[in-house]
Structure 1
Amino acid sequence: MANRLAFEKSLYLRQHADNPVNWFPFGKEAFEKAGKENKPLFISIGYSSCHWCHVMEEESFQDEEVARILNSRFVPVKVDREELPHVDRFYMEACRAMGGSCGWPLSVFATPEGEPFFIATYVPKERFKRLLLEVAELWEKKPDSVVKGAKEVVKRLASLLEGLEGELPGPSAAANCFKEIESRLDPVNGGYSPPPKFPLPHFNWFLLRYFSLGGSGRAFESAAFTLKAMRLGSVYDQIGGGFHRYSTDAAWFVPHFEKMLYDQAGLLVIYSEAYALSGYWLFKETVKELISYLERELLLSNGLFASSQDADSPEGEGRYYAFTWGELKEALTPEELEFARQLYNLSPEGNWEEGLNLLYPAEEFEVKAEKLGLSLEDLLKKKALVDSKLLSLRGKKVPPATDEKALTDWNGYLLWGLAVASRFVEPAAKERAVALATSLLERSYRDGKLYHVLYGSEPAVEALLDDYAFLIRGLLELGSATLNDDFYSAAAELADIAVKAFYRGGRLYGSSDNTFNLADPFDGAYPSGVAVMVQNLLIMSELLGLNEFKKVAENVLRSYSEAVNRYPSGVVSLVEAVLMEGGELSVVESASQEALGKLLKEFRPYRFFRLNPEVEGVKVCERGVCREIK
């Protein structure tokens, strides 16, 4: 018999609808039941494309004994972290404050008021059963002690929201940030951390922008090296396009196979900007392949894009993207098979596990061509033929599930990526970007109210700071790409709402909820919404003359000055805001669309464009001074 999650819109919640666990969605009903029966909450947080979430569901939540313990001694609650990111952030920060190992699935034990007192991640079934019994016994025997500890955790979280007024960070923050990032560079494989290795596009675009503003040439070299390494690894889907979430090894070989919309969005930005700076053909092709993948596999009927694709298919994790030697022999001629073997480092025994092969070029295609005695042009022709046959072969398999909820923040981030791509790489992306902006403004923004998620045509969950931040940035970038002031006006309207909703006492809050309102200034897998909003406010103050936005931005920067000064590489996006505030923002105006069109193709960080019929020639304004440029 299905539980109450069967009536939810979230795919992740519905994936647990046939569990014997009597799940509640996060909300009033669960909290009231816990309070009435004086039971602790067990809050399980995950997302639909999460491999270990699936493992825990199959091992534990399908188990009758586990369900009996959860149903009798707890009130079990399921949370889709993508649907309720503010709830996820609160408990994730609590996990960090408690010194635990944090990730998904996140397994939270909380008082009936929702205050956490113990947090774990994935726990194998037998250990999980013991843990449930131990926690239940602790609650029943020492409830006062448990509640006291939980309140201490909440108090620590509240301190994260207290203002730490300081001076505006200075220009040294950028140099310090570069030094920190450079010290983390893997000189052999690229990337900036030991495994697991995430794409971290904001690291790379900071490096490109730092270089472009007169910083070290090593900044460009590090970024380009990393971008090539990722593109030539199995972390990139070599035949279908799109990046997987991260690599489990140093060499970008074995990915965690889910594909997230936010990764594609940020990587569109960085590969487009890298192409504009370098002219390297593979960066251009990567952008085109990313757009093709997005339109083919993630575009929804409502005009927005789906949030993710699962790591698992019916054959197992990653099996959809891998091939046995027998499958390869069946699909390719002997000559093509030998070519594919050398191109992708394939083996009859398999280059991965259980006789399976991942497509792993590892070396630049120019190097491959030289080794094979081919011109680059001939190698790419052969590659295109082999790739099309392998894609047809893969098309016979059952693909991983796609989570079709459309998130405003991630779609806004994608709008940003498409707008940048349309300027530097693929002019046709402009039409897709305009269509996406139109869909977001018509479907996710209704009667003056923005929503976080769209299920089909039905909006849900009041928008959070990140939704406003990324949508506004997408609109600003699109305004430049199209030279259409309507997008700037929409951005300003949304920013005015966001400042009124989330700005208090010199800080930006993550939501309008009084409890689940943490806003994280630190970047994660993608930029901090706080930092993106600060950047937006600075852009609009310069571009549209909205000086009140600059005051808000400066106050927020002051409140995070300690983080910028002490941990610059952790707050890269705030460091970029410091550069903007320090005078690196510029606005170019002209009455001539043709004159601006040429300049739009040139990469210059933090430069925005606007048609102005009153300007003769071309005018650029920066650092408080306007001048004509040729």
Structure 2
Amino acid sequence: MANHLAGATSPYLLQHADNPVHWQEWGEDAFAEARRRDVPVLLSVGYAACHWCHVMAHESFEDQQVAAAMNEGFVPVKVDREERPDVDAVYMAATTAMTGQGGWPMTCFLTPDGEPFFCGTYYPKPHFLQVLAAVRDAWRDRRTEVLRSSASITGALARMSVSGPADALDTDALADAVATLGREFDPVNGGFGTAPKFPPSMVLEFLLRHHARTGDADALRMAEETCTAMARGGMYDQLAGGFARYSVDAEWVVPHFEKMLYDNAQLLRAYLHLHRATGSDLAERVARETADFLLADLGTPEGGFASALDADAEVDGRGVEGHTYVWTPDQLADILGPDDGARAAEVLSVTPAGTFEHGASTLQRRADPDPRWWSDVRARLLAARAERPQPARDDKVVTAWNGLAISALAEAGALLEEPRYLDAAVACADLLLSTHLVDGRLRRASRGGVVGSAAGVAADHGDLADGLLTLHQATGDARWLEAAGRLLDVALERFGDGAGGFFDVADDAERLVTRPKDPTDNVEPSGQSALAGALLTYAALTGSARHREAAEAAVAAAGRLARQAPRFAGWTLATAEALFAGPLQVAVVGSGDSAADLVRTVRRATSPGLVLTAGEPDAPGIPLLAHRPLVEGHAAAYVCRGFVCDRPVTTTGQLEQALRATVAP
């Protein structure tokens, strides 16, 4: 045997291609080998930007002693959780059930039939060697007990995928969710709960939508205070824009430094909507800087967006977390001179003792300095930082996360009137539809323009459909609406669970020991909630009752979760807000400055149920423009609520009044 990862497309797997471990990719060949040798499969799951994955790799997978033990007693299989979220979901559920917690790297021992019997996460080398020996001995000497355990665990996993009763949400439930979030809110530092703190992107969207629908001041306050705290702290890159994955402390000072596409796409949208709701200059600045970060640091030559920047940078042959981003007062003085260096240290909270490790500090920006001075200092610090070792980039293009980026950039381009962002969204959509769609079916990821073999999951269909629908509203191009409809039809046909919800994988996907299904909105929308949101938007844009009913059923399928744990049902709750606020359909017909002014007026509206289509009357493929003529030769806006339409208006004042009339008191 030998290491078989050299031909992998995943950057994470390629990081392990030179290990002395005889890694194989996930697949039937690995399990057939385990059956032939009568040994367990050792499944190791991680991702390219994972700090502790790198630590375990250096300690164990690059070590000859550990590799020998792995190769002798097991068939080692390496999986990129971002490329195979279905495999990750099944065995993460097992790991959490066995240990009470999960995380990456994830280490699972499986029977040759794929049933888990022992799971954990990161193991230091000495402990890992002990685990390997104990599992090998158990497989050899207590096989019956091991198989009984694996069958019990697999049965429990199957029961977890059984649909529970639907629990339709009403407006009282949404108000109760805000109250629950209020009890979990950190009034001092913003955010929810204690350390570590993850950016609550979908919860922020729910709170902003709830405020837009009801005027609830507490919902807006929690959203604004959280956004402000994150943007002022060290989790936000004060020089280049973009957010790190989470803060290790409650004050948002020290991040876990990896930067993920899915976080930044969702946060871009949240700050954009906060700016729209409040006029906040801070929110607008962060939205622009985050969009610029996506284009500059995550854009790929093919037009997509890379998955992540690593937490580590390589220094003297080893990975050092945060090395690229942290500073000492002396370093600032060396670059800026003593006066500007001291001023920058004060502005950016760089202290002699340091806020991170070894006397270095993350950069915070608790107040806004003089713009002209800051522009010069920022440019000089960025130039100096560019000379440091840089974090590696996982340039895998994941469908779901690129769908999130399309949504965010399309909205940013439209609301901020920045063509670069809109052009990037169009290029990304073109790439996904031309490369990730193979024989009418969606694939999960590509790299370098070459699509991988892993099938698209529910989140890929929902997030990409949502991105295409947002792009349609930003451009008026019918092809995005049509493509979204095709994706949603596949989702309805292949992913439904028969009870209103959705499995994570299609009915014709590779068979795992159980078919995963999880409605939880964690760091990104679940497949079920992503599809619910896209189905609802598509229904509003087309008038399709079938798609609206499917959206309502999907929200109800997660209703119990949303009532009990709103922090983990943010996108379900945000979609429910759109259900109750809409459909509010606005069609702008005509061209020229007057039509542009009407469109601009609509885009400033905050109703979560609003959809917009603009173009010429009876433009082909756009239902909302059908049978809607110009008014005496002038551009006009048609405002419809619940499929009941007002008389068309031709001035922005009339349109503002019509939109105000659709907002609940």
Band the TM-score falls in, shorter-chain normalisation: over 0.9
1:627 counterpart (646, 659, 662): 646
Say whether 1:402 aligns with 2:405. Answer: no
Which residue of structure 2 aligns with residue 435 of structure 1? 427
Counterpart of 2:627 in structure 1: which amino acid?
Answer: E
1:569 counterpart (554, 567, 570): 567
- Deviation string 1:195-224 (CA, Å, 9 cap, x unpaired) is 111112111111111111114201111111
Say whether 1:448 aligns with 2:448. Answer: no
Which residue of structure 1 aligns with residue 484 of structure 2? 491
**Number of corresponding residues:** 617
Change (3 A) 1:583 1:358: closer
Counterpart of 1:543 in structure 2: which amino acid?
Answer: L
Which residue of structure 2 aligns with residue 508 of structure 1? 502
- Deviation string 1:447-480 (CA, Å, 9 cap, x unpaired) is 3222110111211122111111100000111111
Contact 2:329/2:345, CA 8 A, preserved across alignment: no
- Deviation string 1:582-602 (CA, Å, 9 cap, x unpaired) is 453321113234323321233
Superposition map of 1:162-561 within 5 A: 162-315=162-315, 316-361=320-365, 363-365=366-368, 379-428=370-419, 429-460=421-452, 461-506=454-499, 507-512=501-506, 513=509, 514-515=511-512, 517-561=515-559
1:600 counterpart (595, 603, 608): 603
Separation in 1, partners of 2:485, 2:395 = 29
Residue aligned with 1:311, SS? strand
Residue aligned with 1:303, SS? coil
Q: CA deviation at 1:419?
A: 1.6
Q: CA deviation at 1:115?
A: 1.0
- Deviation string 1:32-62 (CA, Å, 9 cap, x unpaired) is 0111112111101000110000000001111
TM-score of the two chains, using structure 1 as the length reference? 0.94
Counterpart of 1:610 in structure 2: which amino acid?
Answer: T
Counterpart of 2:503 in structure 1: which amino acid?
Answer: Y
Structure 1, 501-510 or 521-530: larger mean CA deviation: 501-510
Counterpart of 2:52 in structure 1: which amino acid?
Answer: W
Separation in 2, partners of 1:337, 1:72 = 57
Structure 1, 47-56 or 606-615: larger mean CA deviation: 606-615
Change (3 A) 1:485 1:105: same
Counterpart of 1:19 in structure 2: which amino acid?
Answer: N
Contact 2:24/2:30, CA 8 A, preserved across alignment: yes
Which residue of structure 1 aligns with residue 659 of structure 2? none
Q: CA deviation at 1:324?
A: 3.3
- Deviation string 1:413-446 (CA, Å, 9 cap, x unpaired) is 1001112212322432222222221222122223
Superposition map of 1:155-166 within 5 A: 155-166=155-166
Superposition map of 1:74-89 within 5 A: 74-89=74-89
- Deviation string 1:296-315 (CA, Å, 9 cap, x unpaired) is 11111111010001000013
Counterpart of 1:579 in structure 2: which amino acid?
Answer: E
| Structure 2 segments unaligned to the other structure (5+ residues) | 615-624, 655-665
Separation in 1, partners of 2:84, 2:113 = 18
Q: CA deviation at 1:481?
A: 1.5
Counterpart of 2:641 in structure 1: which amino acid?
Answer: E
Separation in 1, partners of 2:242, 2:428 = 19
Contact 1:583/1:622, CA 8 A, preserved across alignment: no
Separation in 1, partners of 2:266, 2:174 = 20
Residue aligned with 1:462, SS? coil
Say whether 1:609 aligns with 2:623. Answer: no
Superposition map of 1:20-59 within 5 A: 20-59=20-59
Separation in 2, partners of 1:181, 1:30 = 46
Which residue of structure 2 aligns with residue 585 of structure 1? 583
Structure 1, 616-625 or 352-361: larger mean CA deviation: 616-625
Change (3 A) 1:567 1:346: closer
Contact 1:10/1:80, CA 8 A, preserved across alignment: yes
Change (3 A) 1:129 1:382: same
Q: CA deviation at 1:518?
A: 1.3
Counterpart of 1:454 in structure 2: which amino acid?
Answer: S
- Deviation string 1:46-83 (CA, Å, 9 cap, x unpaired) is 00110000000001111222111111111111111011
Counterpart of 2:637 in structure 1: which amino acid?
Answer: V
Separation in 1, partners of 2:476, 2:109 = 51
Contact 1:419/1:478, CA 8 A, preserved across alignment: yes
Counterpart of 2:339 in structure 1: which amino acid?
Answer: E
Contact 1:583/1:623, CA 8 A, preserved across alignment: no
Q: CA deviation at 1:570?
A: 2.2
Contact 1:177/1:572, CA 8 A, preserved across alignment: no
- Deviation string 1:475-512 (CA, Å, 9 cap, x unpaired) is 11111122222211111111112211212412311112
- CA RMSD of superposed structures (Å): 1.8
Q: CA deviation at 1:349?
A: 4.3
Residue aligned with 2:444, SS? strand
Which residue of structure 2 aligns with residue 106 of structure 1? 106
Counterpart of 2:563 in structure 1: which amino acid?
Answer: N
Separation in 1, partners of 2:470, 2:101 = 38
Change (3 A) 1:167 1:283: closer
Contact 1:475/1:487, CA 8 A, preserved across alignment: yes
Q: CA deviation at 1:236?
A: 0.6
| Structure 1 segments unaligned to the other structure (5+ residues) | 370-378
Which residue of structure 1 aligns with residue 622 of structure 2? none
- Deviation string 1:364-410 (CA, Å, 9 cap, x unpaired) is 32xxx5xxxxxxxxx12111111111111111112010011111110
Q: CA deviation at 1:167?
A: 4.8
Contact 1:423/1:601, CA 8 A, preserved across alignment: no
Residue aligned with 2:443, SS? strand
Contact 2:332/2:345, CA 8 A, preserved across alignment: no
Separation in 2, partners of 1:426, 1:346 = 36
Structure 1, 286-295 or 586-595: larger mean CA deviation: 586-595
Say whether 1:145 aligns with 2:183. Answer: no
Separation in 1, partners of 2:263, 2:205 = 13
Q: CA deviation at 1:342?
A: 1.2
TM-score of the two chains, using structure 2 as the length reference? 0.90
Which residue of structure 2 aligns with residue 91 of structure 1? 91
Separation in 2, partners of 1:157, 1:226 = 36
- Deviation string 1:575-627 (CA, Å, 9 cap, x unpaired) is 23333334533211132343233212332213111232632542222234322
Separation in 1, partners of 2:562, 2:327 = 46
Q: CA deviation at 1:358?
A: 1.8
Contact 2:158/2:515, CA 8 A, preserved across alignment: no
Change (3 A) 1:573 1:350: closer
Counterpart of 2:388 in structure 1: which amino acid?
Answer: K
